[in-house]
Amino acid sequence: MDAGRVLLLGAAVVLQCVACGAAAPDADAESTAEAFLFSYFKGNGEDGLHLAWSADGLKWTPLKDDTSFLKPMVGNDKLMRDPCIIQGPDGLFHMVWTVSWKERGIGYAHSKDLINWSPQKYIPVMEHEPAARNCWAPEVFWDEDGEQYLIFWATTIPGRFPATETAGDGGLNHRMYYVTTRDFQTFSPTRLFYDPGFNVIDATIVRHNGRYIMFLKDETRNPPQKNIRIARSSRAEGPYGAVSEPITGDYWAEGPTAIRIKDAWVVYFDKYTKHRYGAVQSKDLTTWEDISAKVDFPAGFRHGTVFSVKADNLEGLRRLSAKP
């Protein structure tokens, strides 16, 4: 075993202890040890998918010298913003992303190892709404109870929610929409996913104690909100209840993504007016502590998704970063 492999295994072992409180595994457990990854984009998303890793969920190190793992090929603008990755029960990593500021579809691709990707697909989720202005920040979630994937995103359809028509930026007045699929080949009709009574974007979902927790951005501009809130449901498809008070303080925040680390939930978010990332944590999903001063992200890091992988997945990714 070379020195780089020893370093990787050591980091993965430490991480498993942090993530679940378990005793450190021996070498035979190497393939099941977990590591944290974060998918993200830089700039306007022109160069595609970036990945970073962490052993503690606090300090994040870019992989492959912070260069792209996958260049965007679909959509008129060929962007890869807001990349969301999950590993499904089929073992594949499924990714969706924003292809454009103004198109009515999203991007999709899958991979076995996060290095070699399938041909990219444009999914026209809002093409049936000719007035729809966009499809922003799609997320994919495995609904274990329904044995299906949910794909959801934010869209503005002018005039659809007149009571909040003037509450957004430049006439934008988003609500969350979704489709379901089992194979990423056929999709349900697009349906309204969540209308909290205000302009909303950047929803993400986790499951906790048999319930579904939605973190979302209140995108209200007039008067300013621009914060992260929570809604809850007993079903992944909803309905989701009323939103909580903001959990991210008084600075503007977007792009929440959440993961459980040891005995606490950590929600990362983009402090986009400050050009840096922040985080809050909670043991009960009610009382939140700001830990932004403890997190460290690569320069230029923008809206992505946190997820866990096995140690051998991380090892393959780190080999791409190794110097010859």
Q: What is the DSSP string of 268-282?
A: EEEETTTTEEEEEEE
Reported as a single tens digit per residue, the pLDDT across 64-100 is: 999 999 999 999 999 999 999 999 999 999 999 999 9
The alpha carbon of 137 is separated from its chain's Cα centroid by a whole number of angstroms, namely: 8
Query: Taking the CB of residue 90, how many other CB atoms lie within 10 A of it?
Result: 12
Q: Read off the pLDDT band of 324 (50, 70, 90).
A: low
Strands 174-181 and 148-156 turn out to be antiparallel
Mean pLDDT of the chain: 89
Q: Read off the pLDDT band of 5 (50, 70, 90).
A: very low
Q: In terms of CATH, what superfamily is 3-321?
A: Glycosyl hydrolase domain; family 43 (2.115.10.20)
> Does the pLDDT value for residue 272 go beyond 70?
yes
Domain boundaries along the sequence of the chain: 3-321
Reported as a single tens digit per residue, the pLDDT across 196-237 is: 999 999 999 999 999 999 999 999 998 889 999 999 999 999
Q: What is the mean pLDDT of residues 237-252?
A: 93
> Does the pLDDT value for residue 323 go beyond 70?
no
How far, in Å, CA of 276 to CA of 251, rounded?
A: 12
The sign of the dihedral angle between the CA atoms of 22, 37, 177, 145 is: negative
Residue with tokens 């040891």, as numbered in its chain? 262
Q: Is 79 exposed, middle or buried (0-12, 13-18, 19+ CB in 10 A)?
A: buried
> Does the pLDDT value for residue 28 go beyond 70?
no
Q: What is the mean pLDDT of residues 144-149?
A: 97
Nearest to 219 by CA among 110, 134, 126: 134
